[in-house]
Amino acid sequence: MNLGTLLFYFAKNFNLNFPKNRFDMVENLVIVESPAKAKTIEKFLGKDFLVKSSFGHIRDLEKKDFGIDIKNNFTPKYIVSTDKKKVVTELKKLAKEAKTVWIASDEDREGEAIAWHLFEVLKLKKENTKRIVFHEITKPAILKAIENPRDIDDNLVNAQQARRILDRLVGFEISPVLWKKVKPQLSAGRVQSVSVRLLVEREREIIAFKPEAYYKVVANFFITEENGNQKTLKAEYPKRFATKEEVLQFLESCKNAEYKVSDIEKKPSTRKPAAPFTTSTLQQEASRKLGFSVAQTMAVAQRLYEAGNITYMRTDSVNLADTALAAAKEEITKRHGEEYVKIRKYQTKNKGAQEAHEAIRPTYLNKEVISGESNEIRLYNLIWKRTIASQMSDAKLEKTNIKIAASTNGEEFIATGEMIKFDGFLKVYMESTDDENGKQEETLLPTVKVNDPVTEDFLNATQNFTYRPPRFTEASLVKKLEELGIGRPSTYAPTITTVQNRGYVVKESRDGVERKYEVVNLKENNISEEVKTQITGAEKRKLFPTDIGMVVTDFLNEHFPNVMNYNFTADVEKEFDDIALGKLIWHEMIGKFYNPFHENVEKTLEHSERSTGERILGEDPKTGKVILVRIGRYGPMAQLGETPEDKEAEAPKFASLRPGQHLETITLEEAIDLFKLPRDLGLYEDKKVVVAIGRFGPYVRHDGKFASLKKDIDDPMEIDLPRAIELIEEKRKKDREKFIKAFDEDPDLQILNGRWGPYISYKKENFRLAKDIEDPKALSFEDCMKIIKEGPKKKTTKKAASKKTTAKKTVTKKKTTTTKKKTTTTKKAKK
DNA sequence: CAGTGAGCGAGCTTCCGCTTGACTT
């Protein structure tokens, strides 16, 4: 070790641990939940306080035997989570040395439980342990908290234990029922199952929806203002027509009409700014305005939080600290003037809210722009605007209706416009809506008086269709869950991931379909008709329930209606509140739920049928055999012929459903088509060419080799022999190019061309070539062996882990997808 | 990488909430 490294080593340790851990005994140890919070608080408290974090919960129920002694008043068995052992050891040591331990976990049910677990696990003593709480990370709030310590609230802790145990019981008792009755590896839970139910019910409403046509009439007028300016005025006829006959009749009655302004109405109105962000509203707005997924929003917000730019991002509170209110007032006054300031205290409307934190806001409101990655800048900007706007004056608007009457039939058209009299908060921020069609635009109306004449330009009646209920986006599902009081800020994003991982839900974009609509015009007393086309039903990044999601939901609805009830969470929350108040004993509450629940589980296991979502579509016209669809071992499938009782009989034929086909909507004709494959196309080079659909989509097979059909270009039902030969030849060419070099020294060693460029293949392991290698053909045998030896060491352990039995295949698959996700986030972080 | 859908049985899966840390096909 040279002098430089020694000095560095010394300096590093001196700064971090030296004064507090080694020489001076720690006077005060403060434990919070989040490390970023610890850093901030340490600054406020000064030298006598060491602030550490528990990284959330440190213990959880054991997984074996539910971690609950059911027969013994549901006594929980907790164990320190493996990833928390290190933290616990460190905290234990520090707590032993400290004179006073301050437990400053959040002031809510979970926070109180964390405090209690810490007390138990760290073997703290009552005399020198103090429980403190604060809702905002400001110096006055922290100092005030230190002055007002209290004891751990056992009732609140019990409420949390009841919550935890209930969730474990529900999840771990119902999931195994699904493994037996539907499919292994499935899951059910108080939150996830209801989330899927929302999607399933909405999907069925959409399937059942029949659009109804109606006609809307719009008129375009010319008008000359007093100063001589000619303006156009667009007005709508307030009534809708159901049929074209009525439209024609109405337009006929408008022929030769003269028009004049018959009435002007002016209505003042005000608009208020939206409350500061909570987790759920941030996710919604970031989705609407920035196109973020909820997970993405949380990841970006986490980075902003860790950099000290915003307050905590998992919160259900709309409250702002007084210091923030004062800063907002100052900022707004400075930027826009005093008349734009209106300090407001918002109150949460959500019943389940626990409000342990502040709303999400910039730490320093005078910082309008931060430095960082582009998504961080954008999200911060959104938070800054929303926070500032929340403390600004109402916008004052004036809504104007101008009515225009036709001389022939006395009917009136209405032109509406909105004028902003005072912009107020609109100067900074405008909340978006989920409404897909209703994009309103500010329209400025011309200046007119009653009885002013107007001239007709044209009238047109456009055929419209009633719109089906919208599908959920991630963010709108979160909004709905929050309204129902289901889930917490820390679980919204993970819940959406879970239901997708279980295969209950997919997030997809789907193309719309063309639809024709009619337009009837009246211009210069001539009625003409035209037919136009529009695209309808297109979806962008929406959540769709899968067939398995639907089957599981139906099964759970039938057998566990109590848990699937949208009010279940709200109802048990009331009881948790009573436990927290000391009015109810937690294990009695759990017992009351559990006994009938468990009986139901047993009954279901014993008596209920296996659930496959089977639907009989009809008969195959060729063979007369039944055609049905159901969920099979490998997913949704169609079956031709009964499952035979005795083994002598002819076995049924099977075919997987194609992407986009669903158990509930597939027609008999579509199912019959599925059995038209495999198709024999003929001979090529004296060998059969067959087209079929496999696990990876449609393909042609020839001479033992496979070539995929081109997506969106080739149709397995239509493809002919010449095209198939084209694909086979293309595949052959690709295979030839794949091979770069082999070696006489060792036949196991090859250089190949892959999807990610050239790579070395050696005994079934692949090694990437460094980017600076220009000509892989020039590599010698020794060069390759060197690359193999220097290849990533960790990889071997990874490989070993994934080389388990085939039964584990799905598990390893899941693992690789999560690691993929992780790498993309780290990549982003680096940028 | 490519036509699976039977049945047996071992051993596994699974919940919600609180936090952050990770390593390459």
A302 touches strand B (CB under 7 A): yes
Helix (H) or strand (E) holding A44: helix A35-45
Tokens coding A503 = 């295969």
Whether nucleic acid strand B comes within 7 Å of the CB of A759, the answer is no
**What pLDDT does residue A691 have?**
85
* E strand or H helix at A421: strand A412-422
Give a three-class secondary structure readout of A703-771. Answer: CCEEEECCCCCCCCCCCCHHHHHHHHHHHHHHHHHHEEEECCCCCCEEEEEECCEEEEEECCEEEECCC
What is the pLDDT at residue A772? 63
Beta carbon of A167 within 7 Å of strand B?
yes
A109's tokens? 């049910």
Listed in sequence order, the residues at least 6 apart from A460 whose beta carbon sits closer than 8 Å to its beta carbon are A217, A218, A519, A520, A521, A522
> Cα A13 to the chain's mean position, in Å?
43
CA gap A38, A33 in Å, rounded: 8
Instruction: Say if residue A678 is preceded by a cis peptide, omega within 30 of 0.
Output: yes
Task: Give chain A's length.
Answer: 831
* Other C-beta atoms lying within 10 Å of the C-beta of residue A392: 25
Residue among A312, A380, A429, A594 flagged as catalytic: A312
Window 313-352 of chain A: CB closer than 7 A to strand B: 314
Give pLDDT tens digits for A778-810.
777 777 777 766 655 433 333 333 333 333 333
Q: Tell me, in Å, how far CA of A788 is from C1' of B2?
A: 31
Is A758 near strand B, with its CB below 7 A from some atom of it? Answer: no
Q: Are A353 and A316 in contact (CB under 8 A)?
A: yes
Q: Could you give the CA distance from residue A318 to residue A347 in angstroms, rounded to a whole number?
A: 6
Q: Nearest-CA neighbor of A292 among A170, A382, A408?
A: A382
Helix A374-389, helix A322-336: angle, nearest 10: 90
Q: Are A67 and A81 in contact (CB under 8 A)?
A: no
Q: Please, what are the domains in chain A? A: 28-152 (3.40.50.140), 213-271+400-419+444-466+513-538 (2.70.20.10), 279-393 (1.10.290.10), 615-717 (no CATH), 743-789 (no CATH)
Minimum-distance residue to B6 (CA–C1'): A647
In 3D, which of A251, A770, A688, A245 has the Cα closest to residue A459?
A: A251
Q: Is the CB of A271 under 7 A from strand B?
A: no
For residues A694-722, one letter each, b for 16 or more C-beta atoms within 10 angstroms of the residue's C-beta and e for the rest, the string is: eeeebbbbbeeeebebeeeebebeebeee
- Sign, CA dihedral A579-A585-A591-A593, equals negative
pLDDT at A641: 86
Composition of chain A by helix, strand, coil, percent to 5: 40, 25, 35
> Which residues numbered 763-822 in chain A sit less than 7 A from strand B, measured from CB?
766, 768, 792, 794-795, 798, 807, 811, 816, 819, 822
Distance A602 CA to B5 C1' (A): 28
A623 touches strand B (CB under 7 A): no
| Residue A545 φ/ψ region, left for φ over 0, alpha for ψ in the -120 to 50 degree band, beta for the rest | beta
Which residue is the nearest neighbor of B3, CA to C1'? A694
- Cα within 13 Å of Cα(A388), Cβ side: 26
Closest to A441 measured CA to CA, from A420, A423, A470:
A420
Q: What pLDDT, on the 0 to 100 scale, is given for residue A702?
A: 80
CA atoms of A398 and A266, how far apart (whole Å): 7
Which spans in A791-808 are helix H? 794-802
| Known active-site residue A346 | no
- Does the CB of A646 fall within 7 Å of any strand B atom? no
Q: Identify the segments of chain A with pLDDT beneath 50.
A: 1-23, 438-439, 793-831
- For residue A649, the model assigns a pLDDT of 65
CA of A755: nucleotide with nearest C1'? B25
